[in-house]
Chain A
Amino acid sequence: DAGITQSPRHKVTETGTPVTLRCHQTENHRYMYWYRQDPGHGLRLIHYSYGVKDTDKGEVSDGYSVSRSKTEDFLLTLESATSSQTSVYFCAINRDRGLSKGTEAFFGQGTRLTVV
């Protein structure tokens, strides 16, 4: 959707290989997030960023690292992919909906990753 682009959209990789997923935003938002979505678990936060070079862990951060060298890009890296990391990965930004309306997490289209 407008504002967020995830790449690649689909990827199949072998166990033990490194994988990097990219999230690109065009709206200059400060906060960016990586979630994974699995059946029976809904969406779970992996890592998030609150500015360039500022990142923090989420609920399921083990096995993942992130980097944010510029505002528009937030990278998620699986250093050594495992089958348990087969999932759909969503990037999100926090979009301010104006005073008293709160903020809205706006999601990308997702990346389907399969680790074989």
Chain B
Amino acid sequence: GESVGLHLPTLSVQEGDNSIINCAYSNSASDYFIWYKQESGKGPQFIIDIRSNMDKRQGQRVTVLLNKTVKHLSLQIAATQPGDSAVYFCAETPRGNQGGKLIFGQGTELSVKP
């Protein structure tokens, strides 16, 4: 079946360094992708999204890159801070998906060392 998956389950970075979290998706018909951050004991929180007609989108300290050729999505966090420690999920919405239902990847845990 269709799936969204992450390459690395855990990522440890030094405070101040840049972080890159990767995601592979299998449904080439997906046209909308979102990155979520989930802190312990809380629900997922929207970070940034990107549509399939774009290759790159920037937010505050975060950048999402979409490579449709290899069906790969990445989240870049600049100057990683201790508050960035969390589990990060990518999610996709296939084109024509009624109601905006999301298909989630398994998540990557980001740990920031002071």
Contact = CB atoms under 8 A, between A and B. Distances in A.
A110 B42 contact: yes
Contacts of B46: 104-106
Contacts of B100: 31, 94, 103, 105
Interface string A21-63: 0000000000101010000111111001010000010100000
Contacts of A85: none
B60 interface: no
Contacts, number: 57
Contacts of A45: 101-102
Please tell me the size bucket of the interface on A: 20 to 34
A94 B99 contact: yes
A74 interface: no
A13 interface: no
B112 interface: no
Contacts of B105: 42
A43 B107 CA distance: 9
B99 A48 contact: yes
A31 B106 CA distance: 24
Contacts of A92: 43
Interface in B89-114: 89, 91, 98-102, 104-107
Interface in B60-114: 89, 91, 98-102, 104-107
22 contacts: A1-B43, A31-B99, A40-B106, A41-B106, A42-B89, A42-B105, A42-B107, A43-B89, A43-B102, A43-B104, A44-B104, A48-B99, A50-B98, A56-B98, A94-B100, A102-B49, A105-B34, A105-B46, A105-B100, A109-B43, A110-B42, A110-B43
